């Protein structure tokens, strides 16, 4: 189970690591009361059968079922498997999140580690690679020798959501966000290194008739995603494997390619299933 | 009258340009109904006497008393005086805002232009200068030959407010914001050119115990204000005149000095009074 803050996705996986059934719903942490996680798991078993369950994601945070301490980078699937927290002994376990500290700056993730390590374990990405997981908080992960060596998170998606919902720019951000001239103009602008100025200028440019109102959302998206990519300081031609749903993945791919990188899409569901299956097999091997 | 979105400040000014009385209240645009501006002006006259009134600021926007078209840079006090909108003939006028378009990017201001041009007219800043007005939207204005030649706005204060009210970081931003080690660390971090990554890292660093929770607000403030200053690409040693209330002005001064500039504080009220008095004298001279 990939159990996040807002949504969750359950996969029923057979012994060969194949997905038998999958279901996504909105029963993320925010929808479950503090003591309600066991009942919520029972409801899932009613759908999928009475099977053991591994849960990754924010469900292992202080606001989730129980808090599982972070594992510190470098991390591999073995260290995740060795540090599960069994909330229902022998039946249900939570996968730990991962933390990293570099140059006195900390970073954390919960749930993404299973996808990242699973992508490499399944051969979807090489053992040494840069992986990108766009989302509310975009993860950029450096894999070394099949381990998660370090990572950095961009607040990109959350800033876009804040602007769209609560800012003075909100009324101007109802246009479609898709790859195109406006998006790519935003990416090019991001390359200049400024963000606070260009964000204010979006509204001004619309009011002055310099940019069509319906293009502002795509332009702001390009500016933010372009800034996120710029902050990675990619080597020219370097390869970035992207784990995301197709719509958001496409935008990141366009920005990465425009800024001199080379994007490769990966199936994020397949990566998660591979990661969680590997963890399960390690527990079974230990138990036998 | 400096009549903004949230607040307004009225000054009663004598023939010599001296302030006889001043009053600040929360009767900004948001508190006045569309047809209620004339009554609101009557109430002001009841306090200060039955005098002619010049109003600058968002009161001249589409959401204010009436919309006054922007004057395009370069702009001086003469062009503002020549383009007043009289909403009560001979009695009450609105000062136009200013726009600029540079490299295909637009920017706008309403109200700040009176302060900026007033600062130079009063000799508080030289005829050729870079002026900074911190606030929800921070203005950086280039004065050339006593005229407002161009400007750029940073969304700095609004982004900080959004983070504080609505973001995942909100719970971590209740500490004091003041100049000190945490603030200056944030400014130094801003100089590296990244923002989306460091913003996410604030929460992670607090959760991992790398930074004390009560220091996060000052550190984020330093990061944002430092980014705003960095986006100006100041020449080393270049002078920046700051028009702001002392608390916020101090933070910008610290960041400007830390990043190689030289800050000079200016009394923003005196600048506004000088600007509006000059405009009034020009109208009187034209009328006589």
Structure tokens at A36: 């309600």
HSE on the CB side for A116, CA within 13 Å? Answer: 35
Cβ–Cβ gap B196/A159 under 8 Å = yes
Cβ–Cβ gap B99/A156 under 8 Å = no
To probe the interface with B, which of A29, A100, A105 has the most B CB atoms within 10 Å? A105
Contact, A242 vs A263, CB < 8 A? yes
Residues with Cβ within 8 Å of A116's Cβ and at least 6 positions away in sequence, in order, are: A131, A133, A139, A141, A143, A148, A243, A271, A275
Q: What are phi and psi of B110, to 5 degrees?
A: -140, 110
Strand ranges for A89-177 from DSSP E: 92-94, 98-102, 105-109, 129-133, 138-144, 147-154
Q: Is the pLDDT of residue B112 over 70?
A: yes
Cβ–Cβ gap A227/B196 under 8 Å = yes
Q: Is the pLDDT of residue B192 over 90?
A: yes
Residue owning tokens 């900074």: B132
Min Cα separation B204/chain A (Å): 5
Answer whether B86 touches A (CB < 8 Å).
Answer: no
Q: pLDDT band for position B287 (50/70/90)?
A: confident
| Residue closest to A96 by CA, chosen among A119, A65, A122 | A65
Cβ–Cβ gap B200/A137 under 8 Å = yes
Q: Is the pLDDT of residue A69 over 90?
A: yes
DSSP alpha helix (H) spans, B75-149: 77-81, 112-121
Q: What is the dihedral of CA B187, B190, B192, B195, to 10 degrees?
A: 160
Tell me the per-residue pLDDT of B28-61, one tens digit each, with 9 for 90 and over.
999 999 899 999 999 999 999 999 999 999 999 9
Cβ–Cβ gap B224/A196 under 8 Å = yes
Domains of chain A: 2-124+268-287 (3.30.420.300), 156-266 (3.30.420.310)
pLDDT score, position B286: 77
**What mean pLDDT is predicted for residues A86-94?**
96
Min Cα separation A205/chain B (Å): 4
Q: Is the dihedral of CA B223, B225, B230, B234 positive or negative?
A: negative
**What mean pLDDT is predicted for residues A22-43?**
94
pLDDT score, position A288: 66
Min Cα separation B17/chain A (Å): 34
**What mean pLDDT is predicted for residues B68-88?**
98
Answer whether A154 touches B (CB < 8 Å).
Answer: yes
Answer whether B106 touches A (CB < 8 Å).
Answer: yes
Answer whether A103 touches B (CB < 8 Å).
Answer: no
3-state helix vs strand vs coil in chain B, percent to 5:
40, 25, 35
pLDDT score, position B288: 66
CB pairs under 8 A between A and B: 123
**What mean pLDDT is predicted for residues A84-89?**
97
Separation of first and last alpha carbons in chain A? 24
To probe the interface with A, which of B71, B102, B106 has the most A CB atoms within 10 Å? B106
Min Cα separation A28/chain B (Å): 16
Residue owning tokens 């899932």: A44
Structure tokens at B45: 């006259």
Cβ–Cβ gap B105/A198 under 8 Å = yes
Cβ–Cβ gap B106/A205 under 8 Å = yes
Q: What are phi and psi of A195, to 5 degrees?
A: -140, -45
| Residue closest to A116 by CA, chosen among A155, A68, A72, A77 | A77
CA angle B111, A198, B63 (to 5 degrees): 35
> What ipTM does this complex have?
0.94
Answer whether A201 touches B (CB < 8 Å).
Answer: yes
Min Cα separation A177/chain B (Å): 20
Q: Is the pLDDT of residue B276 over 80?
A: yes
**What mean pLDDT is predicted for residues A256-279?**
97
CA distances from B129 to A282, B138, B183, B264 (A): 67, 16, 27, 11
Answer whether A102 touches B (CB < 8 Å).
Answer: no
Spatial distance between the Cα atoms of A180 and A202, rounded to a whole number of angstroms: 17
| Residue closest to A53 by CA, chosen among A86, A17, A8, A102 | A86
Tell me the per-residue pLDDT of A98-136, one tens digit each, with 9 for 90 and over.
999 998 899 999 999 999 999 999 999 999 999 999 999
Cβ–Cβ gap A108/B210 under 8 Å = no
Buried b (16+ CB within 10 A) or exposed e, B257-288: ebbebebbebebbbbbbbbbbbbbebbeeeee
**What mean pLDDT is predicted for residues B154-159?**
97
Min Cα separation B199/chain A (Å): 7
Answer whether A193 touches B (CB < 8 Å).
Answer: yes
Spatial distance between the Cα atoms of B105 and A19, rounded to a whole number of angstroms: 50
Contact, B254 vs B183, CB < 8 A? yes
Cis previous bond, B77, omega within 30: no
Min Cα separation A7/chain B (Å): 17
Tell me the per-residue pLDDT of A151-164, one tens digit each, with 9 for 90 and over.
999 999 999 999 99
In chain A, whose CA is at the least distance from the CA of B189? A105
Residue owning tokens 């005098």: B51
The closest CB to that of A155, out of B137, B199, B224, belongs to B199
Cβ–Cβ gap B195/A227 under 8 Å = yes
pLDDT score, position A103: 87
Cβ–Cβ gap B156/A196 under 8 Å = yes
Could you tell me which residue, A104 or B142, shows the higher pLDDT?
B142
Tell me the per-residue pLDDT of B210-227, one tens digit each, with 9 for 90 and over.
999 999 999 999 999 999
Answer whether A71 touches B (CB < 8 Å).
Answer: no
Contact, A119 vs A271, CB < 8 A? yes
Residue owning tokens 């800024």: A259
Beta strands A105-109; A129-133: pairing state: unpaired
Cβ–Cβ gap A231/B166 under 8 Å = no
Answer whether A163 touches B (CB < 8 Å).
Answer: yes
**What mean pLDDT is predicted for residues A233-255?**
96
Answer whether B224 touches A (CB < 8 Å).
Answer: yes
Q: pLDDT band for position B208 (50/70/90)?
A: very high
């Amino acid at each position: 189970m990939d159990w996040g803050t807002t949504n969750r996705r359950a996969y029923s996986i057979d012994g060969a690591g194949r997905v038998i059934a999958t279901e996504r719903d909105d029963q993320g942490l925010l929808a479950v009361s503090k003591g309600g996680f066991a009942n919520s798991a029972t409801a899932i078993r009613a759908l999928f059968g009475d099977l053991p369950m591994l849960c990754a994601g924010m469900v292992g945070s202080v606001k989730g079922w129980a808090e599982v301490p972070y594992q510190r980078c470098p991390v591999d699937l073995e260290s995740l498997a060795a540090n599960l927290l069994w909330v229902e002994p022998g039946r249900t376990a939570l996968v730990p999140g991962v933390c990293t500290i570099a140059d006195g700056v900390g970073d954390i993730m919960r749930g993404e580690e299973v996808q990242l390590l699973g992508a490499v374990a399944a051969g979807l990405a090489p053992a040494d690679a840069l992986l990108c997981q766009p989302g509310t908080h975009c993860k950029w992960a450096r894999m070394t020798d099949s381990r998660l060596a370090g990572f950095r998170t961009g607040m990109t998606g959350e800033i876009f959501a804040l602007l769209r919902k609560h800012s003075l720019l909100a009324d101007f951000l109802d246009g479609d966000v898709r790859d195109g001239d406006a998006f790519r103009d935003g990416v090019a602008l991001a390359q200049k290194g400024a963000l606070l100025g260009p964000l204010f200028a979006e509204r001004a440019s619309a009011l002055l008739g310099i940019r069509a109102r319906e293009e502002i959302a795509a332009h702001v998206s390009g500016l933010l995603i372009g800034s996120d990519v710029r902050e990675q300081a990619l080597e020219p031609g370097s390869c970035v494997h992207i784990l995301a749903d197709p719509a958001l993945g496409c935008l990141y791919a366009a920005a990465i390619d425009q800024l001199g990188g080379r994007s490769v899409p990966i199936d994020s569901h397949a990566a998660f299933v591979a990661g969680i299956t590997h963890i399960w097999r390690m527990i079974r091997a230990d138990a036998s």
